[in-house]
Amino acid sequence: MKMEDMVIVSVDDHAVEPTDAFFKHFTGIYKDEAPRVVERNGKDVWFWNDTIFPTIGLNAVVGRPRSEYGMEPDRFNQMRPGCYDAKARIADMNANGICGSLNFPTFPSFAGNQFIKAAQKGDGEKALRAVRAWNDWHVLDWCAEGPGRFIPMIMLPLWDMDAILAEMKRWAAHGVHAVTFPDNPARVGLPSIHNEYWEPFWKACVDHKMVINCHIGTGGAAEHASSESPIDAWITTMPISISNAAADWLFADFMRRYPDLRMALSEGGIGWIPYLLERADYTYEHHREWTFCNFDGLRPSDIFKRQIITCFVDDQFGLKNLDYMNPDLVCYEVDYPHSDTLWPNCPEYLWASVNHLAPEVIDKVTHLNVMREYNYDPFAVLGGRDQCTVRHLRELGKDVDVSPRANLGGLKTDSMDLVGTARRRVTSGEIMQMFASA
C-alpha cells in the first residue's frame, strides 16, 4: 500500500453554522425567534433568546499561518469558506484527500449545551425548536450537499426524554446513526450517566444503531492549571481531559447491560488509553471486594475494547501500541477547522504514523471501522473504493488554493498581540481573558 491508496474518513470535524442555518428551518409564528447573526461592534455574533453569543467560529483558524492561530475569527470573511459552506468544505476535503467527515456543531456548542442552558432556565420549548432546526439544517442542507461525503449526526433535547426519543426516531428514518452527547452530563446540570433517567436513551441508541459521540469539553471544559500557566500546558492535556469521563462510562452498569451500545471519545487521542485500561483492571481486581463492582466474568478493559470508539489526529505512540487496545474501534480525525488540524497535509502525517502497520490494519483505522460502526458506506454512493482514495480526491481538488492566508478578511483582533507582534509566552489567563472579553 502507498499513501495515495488510503481511504481516509474523519470522525471529528466541525461545521460553523452559516447565517441562514436556522432561519430557513423555523416556520410560521416562530420565524422571528430563530438564531441569527447580527453585527455588534464591528463583529459578526449570534443572537438568540435575547442573548448574544460572541464567538461565531470557535478556533476556526484553518488555513492561517500557525503564527496567527491564536486569533479567534470575528467575522465570516476571516474564515476559509470551507468552515461554513458545505460545497467549499468538500473542495477542502478533496484537497486534503479526505473521503468522509462527521461534523460537530459550533454556535450551539459541541453537544448543544447552549440550548440545554436555555431549557434549564425555563425556555425548553424554544430550545427544542432550535435543536430541531439545527438538525434539519445539518442533515438536510449540510450533509445533503455532498452525498457520501458526510456522516450525519444530530443533537438532542437532553432535558426531555420524550422529545429525545421522538427526535431519534425522526432521524433514524433518514438513516442517521450518530448523536452528540456530553461526556459527563452531570457537569452541565443533567442527570449523571448512572441515573435511571437515561435508560430509554441507551435502549434507543441500540435499537437505532446510533453511536453516542462525546467530544472533549462537552461535560465541563478542561481546567487550566493557573492563570499564569503557559497555554501550551492546557493544549497538551486537553485531549486527555476526557479520561475522567472515560473511566466513568467504563464502570457504568448500563454498558454491561447493553453490549451493543457504542460511545466515542471524540478528539480524545489514543496514546493514554493502554495505561487507563491497565489501571482500570488493577482497580477492579484489587478493590472490588469492598466496592462491590461486578463485571460478570469480564474486566473493565473488555468493556472498553468492545464498546468505546477512540480517535487520533497524530498519535504515533498509540498506533505502536494497538495490541493494548482494540484496532477495530480506533478511528482517525482531521479536526477541521480547528488549530490542531493538519490540513491540507493529513495524508502525509497519517502515513508517517501508520506505514509500519499491516495494510488490513491501516484500512481499519483509516475508514473500515468508521464505515462499520456508523453504518456509513461512501463506496456505494461514490462509485467504489477507487473514487474515495487520497489519489482520486486530490486530483479532484488539485485547483483548490491551500496556501496559508495571513490576516484573513483584513481584520486584526486584540489576540494578535498574544501570538503575533508581541512574541512572548501566551498564558492561560490571557486566553481566558480573551474569551471573557468577547
- Domain spans of the chain? 3-437
- The whole-number average pLDDT for the span 327-341 is 97
Burial (Cβ within 10 Å: 0-12, 13-18, ≥19) of residue 208: middle
pLDDT at 7 over 80: yes
Q: What is the predicted pLDDT for the residue at 423?
A: 57
| In the chain, % of residues over pLDDT 70 | 95
| Tens digit of each residue's pLDDT (9 = 90 or more) over 208-259 | 999 999 999 999 778 899 999 999 999 999 999 999 999 999 999 999 999 9
Q: Are 347 and 96 in contact (CB under 8 A)?
A: yes
pLDDT at 419 over 50: no
Task: Order the strands of the 263-266 sheet from edge to edge.
Answer: 150-151, 100-104, 9-14, 330-332, 308-312, 263-266, 211-215, 178-180
Sequence-ordered list of residues with C-beta below 8 angstroms from that of 368, at least 6 positions apart, any chain: none
Nearest to 367 by CA among 359, 153, 202, 286: 359
Per DSSP bridges, beta strands 51-53 and 100-104 are unpaired
In this prediction, residue 334 has a pLDDT band, given cuts at 50, 70 and 90, of very high
Task: Give bridge partners of residue 211 from the DSSP assignment.
Answer: 178
pLDDT at 411 over 80: no
Global pTM exceeds 0.85 = yes
Q: What is the predicted pLDDT for the residue at 435?
A: 65
Distance in angstroms (rounded) separating the CA atoms of residues 296 and 280: 15
Q: What is the predicted pLDDT for the residue at 261?
A: 98
- Tell me which CATH code domain 3-437 carries: 3.20.20.140
In this prediction, residue 415 has a pLDDT band, given cuts at 50, 70 and 90, of very low
| Tens digit of each residue's pLDDT (9 = 90 or more) over 305-333 | 999 999 999 999 999 999 999 999 999 99
Q: Which residue has the cell 442542507?
A: 141
Eight-state DSSP code of residue 64: S
- The whole-number average pLDDT for the span 10-18 is 98
Sequence-ordered list of residues with C-beta below 8 angstroms from that of 20, at least 6 positions apart, any chain: none
In this prediction, residue 408 has a pLDDT band, given cuts at 50, 70 and 90, of low
Q: What is the separation of C-alpha 438 from the centre of its chain, rounded to a whole number of angstroms?
A: 23
| Tens digit of each residue's pLDDT (9 = 90 or more) over 53-88 | 987 888 999 999 998 887 788 899 999 999 999 999
Nearest to 343 by CA among 18, 56, 69, 104: 69
Q: What is the predicted pLDDT for the residue at 295?
A: 94
